[in-house]
Structure 1
């Protein structure tokens, strides 16, 4: 009997560890191909395994999504082309079941909305209208629905690349860690704009001083990542294929370095896309959608923010538009937009290197990956 009890005691902890903590994995997509909307999977942070939960259909191009801090609501862009105004949708979300239900929709006052974020207090969402070249703020009501837009900031100007920078192209809108500022990139004008954020004001955003930092002409600023200690901010450039390292302090940015994501002598096409930092702050990852279809791994110098290349890993598909690191830092998942798949890689926390886990999700045109705790 004692031997049986001992075996049971040994077995149950092993089962608990194998299961790990479960998170919801939400996948935003373009619905122009095989996709039907937003998909929800259950993700195990120990095994890296996924289980299909649910989907919400009838949404036009929910290409980027944001989740409220309390996990009760989801907000998505509805990215339509350059000739008409896009829209933004709000949904209720049951984290335990993974069920998503549409609440309402509002115009984004700009064409091609491609990015959305939400503040922690669930007061406002911020939408980057890529084709329209503007940033829009929409208030959130008590029931999670979106009110009519409260502010629209229209950028002006062009860049040296006449085919890509013929007008403004706002690409991202990210709140600073303390949410006192909102930073948004304009690929068309090579600017990272900085706005003060007052959630209670009728127009929540006002220009900071300085109101922007400029990138090298033709670089095309795209996405942003803050270090976990908030000392550094990193900005990836879609066309230039480089990452700028900035010292960050209360809305002030000081450029420290520029690091390329492509190898010496590179002659292929560059399509730098996404950038994220591991939860422990040791490694920065980026993606290149161009001819490489790869994920780059950089080691971060915690003292000065400098980046050192560690490895290059195939994304296993075509056009790695977006990726996400699970909250435990065990796995990196990459969304390959043009091969209709999401691949799961295990992260070696000592070296930062990635290893494919044999877990793959087939989903049409995935373009955004987000995690939300189940409980």
Structure 2
């Protein structure tokens, strides 16, 4: 266990900036920034930088505990660290996502490259030890060249707080774990098996009975009904739609990114679809209020290329988009009635631009809420 406290000495200053609206931004070159979004008299917004902290590695994912004002940053580089505001503790390489669970007393991190699911008890400190370090396996290689081994891509906790799900792009599985709330330990209690070559990447719950999963390799989004029995969760696939306007096939090289829900709407990012050449797109779906059935209602520009990450603010009227390759943060308006994304109201380049299909450029955006 290695702790690097000095590298985070300036981070509390960023966390204490409370002006207008703030966005945290990470870049694969090893930096973390705080931006302020300020409304202008003309109805637009300006983006200004509050400061930059060099944390090293390749930060790839941000989780924010607003109560304690602590950021947890996963590192996708070879050092594979999980970084908090006060410490950086070693974890296996290729960390791409993390989530707080067990009433924010534990954190679970997945490692894409090394096929690991790792948990820690919080807070991280010099005495922090790995709680669990689970090596994921699969019975056979998948049909896609990227499916030679398991590649877990996200950790998400269900609304009850009793289960943790891991979409596994390599194994075509949605792995389900029960949570022991007192000890923080996870126990596997089944998987949902997707068709070969689906590549589940990112998931979001809508209420407590519906789950949406964005599939990177198939360029689809799936809707599942959720049930609980026998001490575990079961998933039943109810719907599958692609994310292109008019239901057309995704261009070669396109990769679905993230999926987020707000009220009765869902947004999915499309990377390298070039629907707004040279820019990529975000697709908006309306959700049936009773069943959650999806209907594609609009596709809009991401304001850059390779939108790896985006997030809707709590009010639902703004969306922050992180375009990885063009390394710019874009803010667009969102109609809270129709769910549709409107015009771009602000954009700022962060650090150096990246190259397509490479782990560089902008990596994550997160509202300070």
Change (3 A) 1:146 1:117: farther
Q: Does 1:28 align with 2:6?
A: no
Contact 1:136 1:152 in 2 (8 A): yes
**Under a length normalisation based on structure 2, what TM-score does the superposition of the two structures give?**
0.83
User: How far apart in 2 are the matches of 1:349 and 1:328?
Assistant: 8
Residues 215-271 of structure 1: per-residue CA shift (max 9 Å, x gap): 1110100000111x2221100100101111011234222211111113324443220
| Paired residue total | 328
Say if 2:347 is the partner of 1:360: yes
Gaps spanning 5+ residues in structure 2: where? 1-18, 275-279, 352-360
Structure 2 CA distance for partners of 1:196 and 1:189, relative to 1, 3 Å: same
Aligned partner of 1:319 in structure 2 is 306
Residue 69 of structure 1: how far off its partner (Å) = 4.4
In the other structure, the counterpart of 1:153 is 134
* 1:273 aligns to 2:257 (yes or no): yes
Separation of aligned partners in 1, 2:22 and 2:318 = 14
SS at match of 1:114: strand
CA distance 1:265–1:115, change in 2 (3 Å):
closer
Note if contact 1:288-1:295 (Cα within 8 Å) is conserved in structure 2. yes
Query: 1:284-331, CA deviations, whole angstroms, 9 ceiling, x for partnerless residues?
Result: 000111333210011111211111011111212111000000110001
CA distance 1:167–1:146, change in 2 (3 Å):
farther
Partner of 1:11: none
Distance 1:328 1:166, change over 3 A: same
Alignment partner of 1:223 out of 202, 223, 228 = 202
Pair 162,296 (structure 1): closer, same or farther in 2 beyond 3 Å: closer
1:63 aligns to 2:60 (yes or no): yes
1:369 and 2:365 matched: yes
Distance 1:316 1:288 in 2: 12
Listed as ranges, the matches of 1:175-324 within 5 Å are: 175-201=157-183, 204-208=185-189, 211-227=190-206, 229-250=207-228, 251-262=233-244, 263-278=247-262, 281-292=263-274, 293-324=280-311
**Structure 2 residue corresponding to 1:140, chosen from 119, 122, 129:** 122
3-state DSSP class of the match of 2:260?
A: strand
Structure 1: state its 5+ residue gaps: 1-20, 92-102
Output the CA distance in 2 between the equivalents of 1:329 and 1:146. 40
1:52–1:71 CA distance, 2 compared to 1 (3 A): farther
- Tell me by how many angstroms 1:56 deviates: 1.4
Contact 1:104–1:146 (CA under 8 A) maintained in structure 2? no
Question: Distance in 2 between the 1:59 and 1:199 partners?
Answer: 33
Measure the CA separation in 1 of the matches of 2:194 and 2:20: 40
Q: Distance in 1 between matches of 2:45 and 2:210?
A: 30
Bigger radius of gyration: 1
Contact 2:223 2:293 (8 Å CA) reproduced: yes
Of residues 51-60 and 128-137 in structure 1, the stretch that sits farther from structure 2 once superposed is 51-60
Give the 4+ runs in structure 1 shifted more than 6 A. Answer: 143-146
CA contact (8 A) 1:223 1:275 kept: yes
In 2: Cα distance, 1:296 partner to 1:162 partner: 25
User: Residue 154 of structure 2: SS of its match in structure 1?
Assistant: strand
- The Cα of 1:144 is off from its aligned counterpart by 7.1
Deviation at 1:200, TM superposition (A): 2.3
Q: 1:50 aligns with which of 41, 47, 50?
A: 47
Q: Deviations over 1:57-92 (max 9, x none)?
A: 1321111111124142111112114xxx5111110x
